Amino acid sequence: NQLPKHVRDDLAIQQLSDLYQSQLAELNACHSLLTVDQERLATMLAPYVNANGELIMEAPDPDVLLFKQGLDLRLKEFEEDCKRIQLTEQNLQAKIDAAATDYEQAVNGIAL
């Protein structure tokens, strides 16, 4: 029981659209958390910044260092998530374009 091509295409578009919405919601949440943590890091570093805005620290505070390493790792993950959602967006656009072309060809075929 094979579904017609346009129905399969519509389902694929819907699935990609759902995936895109899910990835976008996750990215927005991650971005908010990263922004808060970047502000927290700035607060942690504030006592070590001189009047010229330069970081002056005899030895790195282990807590600050650990927090920054965790933040750097999460920033890398965020960049990877951004690349992943771009791929989803490209796949979704390709499916939509293909479906639109199929639809136009079907309409033109009927018009002839």
> How far is 53 from 55, CA to CA, in rounded Å?
7
What are the C-alpha distances in Å from 110 to residues 88, 97, 104?
Answer: 33, 20, 10
> How far is 47 from 81, CA to CA, in rounded Å?
33
| pTM metric for this prediction | 0.79
Task: Summarize pLDDT for 7-58 with one digit per residue, the tens.
Answer: 999 999 999 999 999 999 999 999 999 999 999 999 999 998 888 988 888 8
**Helices marked H in the chain — which ranges?**
5-45, 62-111
Q: What is the mean pLDDT of the chain?
A: 93
